[in-house]
């Protein structure tokens, strides 16, 4: 077992990771606000702080609670003390089909929700994090399951209500409109009237 280990964060670098160097305070410019404390990272392991395994596990858990992607490595780059590491070796990635279910009437025509199909359960579902209006305050709501995509949407409306689970535009329809606009703009010639084209 390693007696000195390093905290490693997912980072935008060539290696995809950065080693913990120290804590840094970031303020928003307001004198009356408390600055945030964030980790300062370095690509070079020789600039990193070495931790005892106990302190590293405690620090890792605190940073993970802040939503950061962090793990522990020894000097040779081996990941240590991760329960997920053993689970992920046996897990297989399953791509769940996503379908956009449109609503009709009530002033929400064309808007709707994404529902997903789970091949393991042979059912459709929707998570609170799949609906943008629910991510901030209602992300901990229970996943809704049903046998058809339409039944899932019915459950969303009955259990979460349209005021909390606000329906949204179909992203594919928005992308198609944008593509059409780009094509239209490419054909536009300043000073040329539509009848002259």
pTM score, whole prediction: 0.46
Which of 90, 121, 150 terminates a domain? The answer is 90
Whether residues 80 and 123 share a domain: the answer is: no
Angle at CA 49, nearest 5°, toward 44 and 52?
Answer: 135
Whether residues 107 and 168 share a domain: the answer is: yes
- Residue 179 tokens read as 């593509």
Q: Give the domain range for residue 23.
A: 6-90
Q: What is the pLDDT of residues 151-165, one digit of tens each?
A: 999 999 999 998 899
Q: Is 187 within the bounds of a domain?
A: no
CA distance 147 to 117: 9
- Each residue's pLDDT, cut to its tens digit, for the chain (197 residues) gives 567 899 999 877 677 899 999 988 887 778 787 888 888 998 888 999 999 988 889 889 888 888 888 999 988 888 888 765 444 444 455 678 899 999 888 778 779 999 999 988 899 999 998 898 988 888 888 899 999 999 999 999 999 998 899 998 888 878 888 888 888 777 666 666 666 65
Q: Is 190 within the bounds of a domain?
A: no
Q: What is the pLDDT of residues 10-47, one digit of tens each?
A: 877 677 899 999 988 887 778 787 888 888 998 888 99
Total domains in the fold of the chain: 2
């Amino acid at each position: 077992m390693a007696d000195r280990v390093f905290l490693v964060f997912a980072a935008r670098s060539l290696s995809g990771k950065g080693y913990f160097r120290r804590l840094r305070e970031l303020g928003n410019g307001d004198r009356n606000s408390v600055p945030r404390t964030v980790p300062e990272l370095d690509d070079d392991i020789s600039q990193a702080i070495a931790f005892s395994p106990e302190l590293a596990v405690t620090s890792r858990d605190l940073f993970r609670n802040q939503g950061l992607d962090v793990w522990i490595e020894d000097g040779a780059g081996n990941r240590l003390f991760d329960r997920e590491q053993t689970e992920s070796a046996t897990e297989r990635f399953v791509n769940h089909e996503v379908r956009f279910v449109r609503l009709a009437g009530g002033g929400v025509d064309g808007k709707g929700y994404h529902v997903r199909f789970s091949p393991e359960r042979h059912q459709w579902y929707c998570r609170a994090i799949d609906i943008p209006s629910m991510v901030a305050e209602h992300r901990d709501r229970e996943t809704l399951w049903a046998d058809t995509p339409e039944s899932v949407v019915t459950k969303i409306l009955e259990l979460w209500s349209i005021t909390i689970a606000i329906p949204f535009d179909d992203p594919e329809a928005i992308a198609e409109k944008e593509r059409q606009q780009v094509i239209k703009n490419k054909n536009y010639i300043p000073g040329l009237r539509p009848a002259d084209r």
